Amino acid sequence: MFKNLKPLADRVLVKRLESESKSAGGIIIPDAAKERAQTGEVIAVGAGRIDANGNVVPMHVKVGDIVYFGKYSGTEAGDDHIIMREEDILGIVEK
């Protein structure tokens, strides 16, 4: 469904990454207690936002980037996809 989706302006389509099922201490976390992941992979990006002079400001993120975003950022689009503005992204996870 999202293969043909092109976000508008400064919006980004992000697919959530799976959250860990085990804690650092080795305790298995049940599904009911898991929080939604706040990291995801960028699937598609818009052209960029338009500034006050009418110029397009290019996007900082690109397809394939792993990003960290706020807990309540964006709009849910399906079970594991989110559409959000680039400004809602807190950072890019370096590989």
Domains annotated for the chain, with CATH where assigned, are 11-93 (2.30.33.40)
Q: How far is CA 89 from CA 7, 26, 47, 94, in A?
A: 15, 30, 16, 14
- What is the percent of the chain where pLDDT is above 70? 79
Condensed to tens digits (0 to 9), the pLDDT of residues 44-68 reads 999 999 999 999 999 999 999 999 9
Compute the Cα dihedral for 94, 14, 74, 72 and give only its sign.
negative
Q: Check: CB of residue 13 under 8 Å from CB of residue 83.
A: yes
Determine if the pTM surpasses 0.95: no
Asked if 84 contacts 73 with a C-beta cutoff of 8 angstroms, the reply is yes
Residues 7 and 11: their CA atoms lie apart, in Å, by: 5
